[in-house]
């Protein structure tokens, strides 16, 4: 088929002079020649229509050439800014915050994803248009024209999203106005003050500025004033509540390059305190209250009161260590440090209180031993030694009763075994009844005066401290 088409084309292109023009040719030859010319002309028309149709279908090969030719990119030097050598070019900025990804107290920074839009006018990109419609391009045209060199001041890391292509848009209007939009994630420093942590409010800002062009070449401003900064309504953080977003502007001076226009994205973050109440404040309160239980335990129960005091001290140390591990190593005192260390002081004083009670109790017993004499002193010393080993309080009266009973039982053993057993049972029942009925009286009568005052002073002072603390920081 291809060979037949080529032969027909060759015959169509063959010059008419090559054909025999002798007058003696027959009418048959003239008829064949005329029919052959009609066939060739129809084939030419068919091929031209086919080429036009293919061009219409394959329009992607034509559009880039038309757009570049329409924008006249090759006719200008885009290494220079628009209006080079004249007044500064105004560049408007419009920002839409998509999300605040994370806030780190340890690194003192935040990560934010936003849409950054630039607006300026470059007459070199103007083009004729009857419908006054703009043309939109992706990131491939950005490298061929001039765009503002805006950067983020105090940023640590930043990148333009590139899935599936670079998230870059360029829109050019017929009069030369340009819209340049980027989708960026940036991590920037936030100078935080933790003196009121965790009852604090942090003020952070993301700062935008031109890197190369100072205020004599480029004037950076918010495109729509305070309305230039918009946020997504679904922005939420785990530890913070976003109080406000605001836009502001100012000037920055560099000694070697001059003054630059700078834009600020300000936002205030108030910390949720409920997490820290459950993790720090409430356990500290419970440990302080648990240390007060020691004041109601008998002063001679050394193992019980000492173990309780040491347990609360170690628990408070664990709470303080856990809070400090998740915080930066700042050189000033935080609000949570004030509460935890004062709570630790209350727990520590409860241990010191029992040490004083135990020392004074021992001193009083020594005085009583000197007054009573050697025989009665022996029984008291035995009671103290028994208490030191088993941790139980041995009443002096009960010891005397048991000693008297032991002497009586020795005398009665000579008289008979049967008489001693009922006396033993009766004494045990009597002693159990007296202990059950007088446990509260024994504890109240045998406590030290320091314990009595501590039961009132410690809770009262701690409650007053809580009133002052929460009234000052909240």
> pLDDT tens digits for 229-239?
999 888 888 88
CB 186 within 8 A of CB 157: yes
pLDDT digits (tens, 9 = 90+) for 377-415: 454 555 555 554 444 445 444 444 444 434 344 444 444
The distance from CA 305 to its chain's CA centroid, rounded to whole angstroms, is 43
Longest CA span, the chain: 181
Are 95 and 246 spatial neighbours (Cβ–Cβ below 8 Å)? no
Domain boundaries, the chain: 66-271, 276-372+453-473
SS3 percent helix, strand, coil of the chain, rounded to 5, is 50, 25, 25
Q: Tokens 């607006």 sit at which residue?
A: 119
Do 66-271 and 276-372+453-473 agree at the fold level?
no
Tokens 């070449």, located at residue: 217
CA separation for the pair 34, 291 (Å, rounded): 122
In CATH, what class is 66-271? mainly beta
For residue 63, pLDDT over 70 is answered with no
Per DSSP, the residues of 82-113 read TTTTSSPEEEEEEEEEEEEEEEETTTTEEEEE
Nearest one of 213, 134, 143, 228 to 177, comparing CA atoms: 134
**Residue 122 DSSP label:** -
The answer on pLDDT for 114 being more than 90 is yes
Q: What is the pTM of this model?
A: 0.67
The CATH code that applies to domain 276-372+453-473 is 1.20.58.390
Angstrom CA distances, 174 to 55, 121, 136, stand at: 26, 11, 12
- Is residue 137 over pLDDT 60? yes
pLDDT in tens, 266-283: 999 999 999 999 999 999
Grouping H, G, I as helix, E, B as strand and the rest as coil, residue 470 is helix
- Supply the DSSP symbol for 131: S
């Amino acid at each position: 088929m291809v060979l037949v088409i080529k032969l027909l084309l060759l015959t169509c292109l063959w010059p008419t002079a090559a054909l025999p023009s002798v007058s003696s040719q027959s009418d048959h030859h003239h008829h064949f020649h005329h029919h052959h010319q009609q066939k060739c002309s129809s084939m030419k028309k068919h091929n031209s229509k086919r080429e036009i149709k293919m061009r219409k279908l394959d329009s992607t090969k034509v559009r880039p050439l038309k757009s570049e030719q329409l924008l006249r990119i090759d006719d200008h030097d885009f290494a220079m800014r628009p209006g080079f050598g004249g007044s500064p070019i105004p560049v408007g900025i419009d920002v839409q915050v998509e999300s605040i990804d994370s806030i780190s107290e340890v690194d003192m920074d935040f990560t934010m994803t936003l849409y950054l839009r630039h607006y300026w006018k470059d007459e070199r990109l103007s083009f004729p248009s009857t419908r006054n419609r703009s043309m939109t391009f992706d990131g491939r045209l950005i490298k061929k024209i001039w765009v503002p060199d805006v950067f983020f001041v105090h940023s640590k890391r930043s990148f333009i999203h590139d899935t599936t292509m670079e998230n870059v848009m360029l829109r050019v209007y017929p009069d030369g106005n340009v819209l340049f939009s980027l989708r960026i994630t940036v991590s920037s420093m936030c100078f935080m003050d933790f003196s009121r942590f965790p009852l604090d409010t942090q003020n952070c800002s993301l700062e935008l500025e031109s890197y190369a062009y100072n205020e004599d070449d480029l004037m950076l401003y918010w495109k729509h004033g305070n309305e230039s900064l918009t946020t997504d309504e679904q922005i939420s953080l785990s530890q913070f509540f976003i109080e406000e977003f605001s836009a502001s502007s100012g000037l920055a001076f560099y000694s070697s390059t001059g003054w630059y226009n700078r834009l600020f994205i300000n936002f205030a973050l108030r910390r949720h305190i409920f997490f820290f109440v459950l993790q720090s404040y409430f356990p500290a309160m419970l440990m302080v209250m648990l240390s007060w239980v020691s004041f109601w335990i008998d002063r001679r129960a050394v193992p019980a009161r000492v173990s309780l005091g040491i347990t609360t001290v170690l628990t408070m140390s664990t709470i303080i260590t856990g809070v400090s591990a998740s915080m930066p190593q700042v050189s000033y005192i935080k609000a949570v440090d004030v509460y935890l260390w004062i709570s630790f002081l209350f727990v520590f004083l409860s241990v010191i209180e029992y040490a004083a009670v135990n020392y004074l109790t021992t001193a009083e017993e020594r005085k009583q031993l000197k007054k009573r004499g050697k025989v009665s002193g022996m029984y008291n010393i035995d009671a103290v030694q028994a208490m030191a080993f088993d941790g139980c309080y041995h009443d002096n009266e009960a010891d005397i009763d048991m000693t008297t009973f032991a002497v009586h039982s020795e005398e009665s053993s000579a008289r008979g075994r049967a008489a001693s057993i009922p006396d033993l049972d009766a004494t045990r029942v009597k002693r159990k009844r007296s202990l059950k009925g007088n446990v509260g009286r024994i504890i109240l009568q045998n406590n030290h005066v320091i314990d009595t005052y501590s039961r009132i002073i410690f809770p009262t002072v701690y409650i007053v401290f809580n009133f002052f603390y929460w009234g000052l920081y909240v």
